[in-house]
Amino acid sequence: MIPISCPTRRRPRSPAARFCAALLVFLAAAGAAAGIGCPASADGEGWASPWIEKEQLALRLVADSTRLGPDGGARLGLQVRLQPGWTFYWRHPGDNGLAPLLDWSGSENLGGVAVDWPAPHRKEVLGAQNYVYTEEVVLPVRLTAGDADAPLLADLRLDYGVCKEVCVPYSDHLALLLQPGTADPTPGAELLDWYAGLVPEPAGRQDVRLAARLPPAGAAGDGLLAVVAEAATPFTAPDLFLEGPEGMWFGVPEVSLSDDRRHAVMRLRAGPEEMLQALAGRDLRITLVDTDRAVEDRVIVTAAGDNGHRQGGGD
């Protein structure tokens, strides 16, 4: 294992930081830094693959049922347990880090797959904003068999990185075999239910409306992107996780709440400036996390003075 210490400077990233990020991706893809993990057998306990244990974490696949459902559907989870201080990244890592890459192409009799991502936490390291999980996370995965009457082999190649003072890339292989037949619940069902409840819902289902507006180009204080949120239930301490074009960064939002706390204006620095202004009329994915609720939506970013609007109605 070759630990890699990445410089995390104020944005935009330095050449050294960009080199480090590229090196992480290369090493993870090549398996050179940590070695390519051997496939975990599909035996396990019938509902879970064996744990793959590292110095920093352990991971496995779990299923909520011992068999496929009558429609060929299956619900799995990628369970990750982390040692204290280590982080596993969300689908968008933020300013630094390595987003997990899940490759199911080695599966057999797989008709479709969808991965859900529980809401992340924000971790600031030397001014860089990273979107992470700590302690434990389970990524819920919905699979559909191509043939409901045949076994489904869920075969996952996972490239990812974990970070503390240093970042370590890994590539692992996990597999779980599910037979057709009458489905019986497993201990994994309760675990999957819990983490599925942490996945952000479409904003419309929670009566939350989101909009994003650019600052005036070249004006004093430019670079402050405004995200406006309105909700039927008062906000407590909302935070934002934004996913824009490759190469953009987003700072910590400064939140202003109305007296009834149902209207929030969140202003945050974003850049580079030319990419920020180029967002006008483009799609921006927003995840809003507020204590025990999390929602997401895709909005069309509007120029200063225009009114923002959602794309697709938010649900």
Q: Which residues pair with 160 in a beta bridge?
A: 170
Quick: pLDDT tens for 120-170: 999 998 888 999 999 999 999 999 999 999 999 999 999 999 999 899 999
Report the alpha-carbon distance of residue 268 to residue 255 in Å, rounded: 9
* pLDDT confidence bin for 14, thresholds 50/70/90: very low
Instruction: At 51, list the tokens.
Output: 């744990």
Determine the average pLDDT of the residues in 199-225. 85
Terminal Cα-to-Cα distance of the chain (whole angstroms): 44
154 lies in the same domain as 224: no
State the pLDDT at residue 72.
93
- The domain that contains 77 carries what CATH number? 2.60.40.1250
Quick: pLDDT tens for 98-109: 999 999 999 999
142 lies in the same domain as 179: yes
Q: Which of 101, 244, 93 is nearest to 167 (CA)?
A: 93
Quick: pLDDT tens for 48-81: 999 999 999 999 999 999 899 889 999 999 999 9
- Domain contains 7: no
Determine the average pLDDT of the residues in 193-206. 97
142 lies in the same domain as 58: yes
Instruction: At 198, list the tokens.
Output: 């942490």
Q: Which helix (H) or strand (E) holds 196?
A: helix 187-196
State the pLDDT at residue 13.
40
Helix (H, G, I), strand (E, B) or coil at 88: strand
Burial 96-126 (b: 16+ CB within 10 A, else e): bbbebeeebeebebbeebebbbbbbbebebe
CB-based contact 164:134 (threshold 8 Å):
no
The total number of structural domains in the chain stands at 2
State the pLDDT at residue 305.
65
27 lies in the same domain as 171: yes
State the pLDDT at residue 225.
95
Q: Is the pLDDT of residue 35 over 60?
A: no
How far apart, in Å, are the Cα atoms of 103 and each of 113, 159, 251? 10, 8, 31
Quick: pLDDT tens for 253-269: 999 999 999 999 999 99
In one-letter notation, the amino acid at residue 115 is V
Domain boundary among 168, 196, 224: 196
151 lies in the same domain as 51: yes
DSSP code per residue over 142-173: EEEESSTTS-EEEEEEEEEEEESSSEEEEEEE
Q: Average model confidence (pLDDT) for the chain? A: 85
Least confident piece of the model among 30-34, 75-79, 87-91, 138-142: 30-34
CB-based contact 169:33 (threshold 8 Å):
yes
Query: Which residue's structure tokens are 């995965």?
Result: 141
38 lies in the same domain as 104: yes
Determine if the pTM surpasses 0.85.
Answer: no
Q: Is the pLDDT of residue 29 over 60?
A: no
Domain range holding 208?
A: 201-314
- Domain contains 2: no
